[in-house]
Structures are given as structure tokens and as C-alpha cells.
Amino acid sequence: MRGGKPGDYPTFDEFRTLVHPVPFNLFDPFGFSKNRSEEAKAKGLVAEVNNGRLAMIGIFGFLSADKVEGSVPLLKDIAIPYDGDVMAPFASNFHVF
């Protein structure tokens, strides 16, 4: 720990010099958003959050369709039934041998 304020993370420019060389800024590698207005950035953030939520709903839809046949009618011909425990990788007693 090098001290500092909790929750105050360095930018990638600072990170490059402090910890590890990163070839470009991973938040905005091509500089597309540096000239955008604050309103446009806020609208993009809301779109990103909503896309993430939709992706989570889609993943859980597939998990549900795989575990309980017929639970998601739109996925009945796409999802493959699964007999095991879909949440096994997240269980605390899961071990890889």
C-alpha cells in the first residue's frame, strides 16, 4: 500500500508510471469521448448500464431455460437441457481436481 485516499484510483496515465506499463488508456483507448459533452457522457453511461442489465437478464434466461425445460418459451429450441447444477462453480464447496 502506498497510501492515498481510499476509493481514489489513479488514471491509467498515473498507473503506467506507478505499477505496470499499460500501452493505452483502457477506459477510452482511442480518445473518442474526450471531446464529448457531459450530457453525452451521462447518456452513454446510462446506455452502458442498461446494456449490462440486459446482458444479465439474457444470461439468466439461458440458465433458466437450461435448468427448467419450457421456462423460457422463446429459447425452447435453442437452449440445451442440463442435468447438473448450473451454480456449482459459485458454490463455496466447489473444488477442481
**CA–CA dist 62, 80 (Å, integer):** 9
- CA nearest neighbour of 72 among 57, 55, 84, 94: 57
> Does residue 19 belong to any structural domain of this protein?
no
60 half-sphere exposure, CB direction, 13 A CA radius: 6
Question: By residue range, what is the domain housing residue 68?
Answer: 38-97
pLDDT at 55: 96
> Does residue 95 belong to any structural domain of this protein?
yes
> Does residue 1 belong to any structural domain of this protein?
no
Number of domains making up the chain: 1
Q: Does the predicted TM-score (pTM) go above 0.95?
A: no
Mean pLDDT, 10 residues at a time, the chain of 97 residues: 67 64 71 88 92 95 87 88 74 60
pLDDT at 20: 63
> Does residue 14 belong to any structural domain of this protein?
no
Structure-derived torsion over alpha carbons of residues 34, 35, 40, 45, reported in degrees to the nearest 10: 0
